[in-house]
Amino acid sequence: MDDQAIRLRKDRAAVNADDVKVDLIAFVVAVNDSEPCVLTIGQADTLPSGPFALEHRSLQSGLRGWVEQQTGHRLGYIEQLYTFADRDRIGAERQQRVISISYLALTRKEQAAGPPKCGWQSWYEYFPWEDHRSGTPPVVLDVLRPRLIEWANGVRDAATRRERWQRATIAFGFDDRLWNEELTLQRYELVYEAGLVQEAVRGRDGAPPPLVPSKSMVADHRRIVATGIARLRSKIKYRPVVFELMPTVFTLLQLQRTVEALAGRLIHKPNFRRLIEQQELVEETGEATTETGGRPAKLFRFRHAVLDDRLIAGTKLPLARG
């Protein structure tokens, strides 16, 4: 049993168990045809989840059980993402405090098939402003920029107006600022605060303002996805977790396209390959494939021995800034 599960049981023993509800929520990621996908249930608006029960051996075993039960998918690599325990997280029962413990899980394309009751959705359907592989998405300049200007100017206090617009310029790269792909959560929280997503206007009286075109999710599941994207975009730069998403053998171009899909921006190809070679992250299999449509491309596999090399902790992938 993990330490957090033990602490949770002690905490629940200190209060009436009915006063606290602990949910386990999974953000499961695969990359399918160069598209980063998230595993959903329901109307593609819900992450696999379920309550942590006293009979669960640990938090992770409880999560794995719920995901397999709801989707038929057995999880491999997982890590704890974040614990949401805000005071306004109230359960169906009055006075019930809800604690949500979210996890990031990575899986490979060949393992990503699921039964009809679940589905894989591109995470860019929920965050269309995050995909900069083909340049700045039109939604950023045509929709978000004018709406955020309107929101920033919607207060009388000049200092607040400046503070709001400064946050917008930093988050979205306005006014010649650089786009930072790791600020996914800050961007979502900003458009939420500005009332530009469906989750922000639920339960409000009157007609909602025009929203940014995007898929919504139940409760705060889209916030959890944003948290997971930000974590993964940061982590692929210094730990070789991307190989948890790759098939057993792959081309260097497939590896590059996978990293680009996750980062939402292009990578400098020569620098990327030079880095892969210098860090000895992969090794040749001695085979090649013609599935790329051009000359036969060499096939590689991940060198698992690199996990024992502490130098890998300093690796930075060369994301293109142009």
User: In this predicted model, what pLDDT tens digit does every residue of 186-222 receive, in sequence order?
Assistant: 999 999 999 999 999 887 776 667 899 999 999 999 9
Least confident segment among 105-109, 196-200, 242-246: 105-109
Look at residues 176, 170, 48 and name the one whose alpha carbon lies nearest to residue 102: 48
Q: Is the pLDDT reported for residue 315 higher than 80?
A: no
Query: Taking the model in full, what pTM does it have?
Result: 0.88
82-99 average pLDDT score: 67
Residue 107 Cα distances to 11, 58, 110, 134, 312, angstroms: 33, 21, 9, 26, 22
Please give the C-alpha separations between residue 301 and each of 242, 246, 250, 279, in angstroms, as whole numbers: 12, 9, 6, 14
Per-residue pLDDT tens for 37-70?
A: 999 999 999 999 999 988 889 999 999 999 999 9
Does pLDDT of 120 surpass 80? yes
